[in-house]
Amino acid sequence: MHIHWVQHHVRGRFQVDLMEWLRQHIWPEETRFGDLSFARRHAAAFFADMLRAGTTMGMAYSSPHADALRIAADATHGDWLLGNSIMHKGAPEPLCEASPDNAEEVAPLLRQLGRDRYVITPRFALNCSAELMHELGHLAQTENAFVQTHLSESLNEIREVREAFPEAIDYTDVYDRAGLLTPRTVLGHCIHLSKRELACLAERRVWIAHCPSSNEALNSGRMDLEAIRRHRIRYALASDVGGGPSHSMLHVMQRFLKQHRDAGAPSTYAKPSIAARWPVRNASVAAKKPVTSSRASGRILFYYRARQAKSRPNNGWRNS
Ligand SMILES: [Zn+2]
């Protein structure tokens, strides 16, 4: 429930720091999605690979380009929510220029694709002004729309957010002030959080997209699973391609078990410290909850679901 289809081609570029990785590999790649034939080719390849990996539902980030988003919407197999990354500052100029810079440019996309298929996507705090996030938060609340963004993935990112938003208590507060934290919000990563932030996320009833393979690849740290569980914050597993090197959810589940078992767990969680059924549940049944009301999605019926998705034409872009 957290993946970047436009990073499919550059996945697995392991790096020691998120911000360097974005600047060196990811943003230059995403500028290429202004080219429609490039976008068409890559959308077809991405969704075909997802189907082969047995993933038939998800929530995906697109590049800022509205046309690339439309192309992806027409190429999906299964239940997918898509959002074009809103990033009007702090990135290469072609991306900022392609991005919506006010909510009035986002509302038509939400209307056209529908709120079950479009997710409002402020990429992360460093790519948006407080004013823009406030407009997006208002839109999300009035339309009861999904929101996806990133929160507290790396220490350098957090330091830059603190400098950019001195009026906020912390990173979580940047989004909370904007009204972006709702039960239909999915926050990627959430690795370095204070007690105050955890309490706030629990109160707002957001979802966390936990991306262990990506966190490993980018040296971001380990999400504090024990604290997330203690605060009863809902979470589901995600590959976060291209930070994560593989779209296979089996790979993500394996990294989840390895990472959290290696780190140990409080004895209150019984033995074994991290049960093998946890990742299975959080990659399937739990992951479908924020995404869809479909009864079939999220069950461990990959073959059935994949066949269903393959035989069912996608319902594409409305009014196009
Ligand atoms: Zn991501």
Question: Of 7-16, 205-214, 310-319, which range is least confident?
Answer: 310-319
Residue 251, C-beta contacts closer than 8 angstroms, at least 6 positions apart: 213, 239, 245
Residue environment code for 191-212, b if the CB has 16+ CB neighbours within 10 A, otherwise e: bbbeeebbebbeebebbbbbbb
In a domain, 134, yes or no: yes
In a domain, 61, yes or no: yes
The number of residues making up the chain comes to 320
Amino acid letter for position 136: L
pLDDT attached to residue 319 = 38
What distance in angstroms lies between residue 268's CA and the mean position of ligand 1's atoms? 32
Of the two residues 245 and 271, the one the predictor is more confident about is 245
Residues around ligand 1, an ion, CB closer than 5 A: 188, 240
pLDDT attached to residue 148 = 98
In a domain, 319, yes or no: no
pLDDT attached to residue 12 = 81
In a domain, 238, yes or no: yes
Of the two residues 1 and 163, the one the predictor is more confident about is 163
What distance in angstroms lies between residue 116's CA and the mean position of ligand 1's atoms? 20
Query: Domain count of the chain?
Result: 1
Distances 242 to 11, 99, 106, 178, 312 between C-alpha atoms, Å: 4, 20, 25, 28, 27
In a domain, 318, yes or no: no
What distance in angstroms lies between residue 68's CA and the mean position of ligand 1's atoms? 18
- Look at the pTM and tell me if it is higher than 0.85: yes
Q: Which domain holds residue 219?
A: 3-311
What distance in angstroms lies between residue 259's CA and the mean position of ligand 1's atoms? 19
In a domain, 301, yes or no: yes
The mean of the pLDDT values for the chain is 87
* CA distance linking residue 212 with residue 42, whole number of Å: 25
What distance in angstroms lies between residue 300's CA and the mean position of ligand 1's atoms? 25
Query: Which helix (H) or strand (E) element contains residue 259?
Result: helix 249-263
What distance in angstroms lies between residue 150's CA and the mean position of ligand 1's atoms? 6
The CATH number that applies at residue 299 is: 3.20.20.140
In a domain, 78, yes or no: yes
What distance in angstroms lies between residue 243's CA and the mean position of ligand 1's atoms? 7
What distance in angstroms lies between residue 107's CA and the mean position of ligand 1's atoms? 23
* CA distance linking residue 239 with residue 1, whole number of Å: 8
Residue 208, C-beta contacts closer than 8 angstroms, at least 6 positions apart: 186, 187, 188, 189, 190, 201, 223, 228, 233, 234, 235, 236
95-99 long-range contacts, CB within 8 A, separation 24+ = 95/27, 95/30, 95/31, 95/63, 95/64, 96/64, 98/34, 98/63, 98/64, 98/65, 98/66, 99/64, 99/127
Strand positions, DSSP E, the chain: 3-4, 57-62, 79-84, 119-120, 146-151, 185-189, 207-210, 234-237
Q: What is the mean pLDDT of residues 127-143?
A: 98
pLDDT attached to residue 293 = 46
In a domain, 317, yes or no: no
Instruction: Name the pLDDT band for 190 (thresholds 50, 70, 90).
Output: very high
pLDDT attached to residue 264 = 82
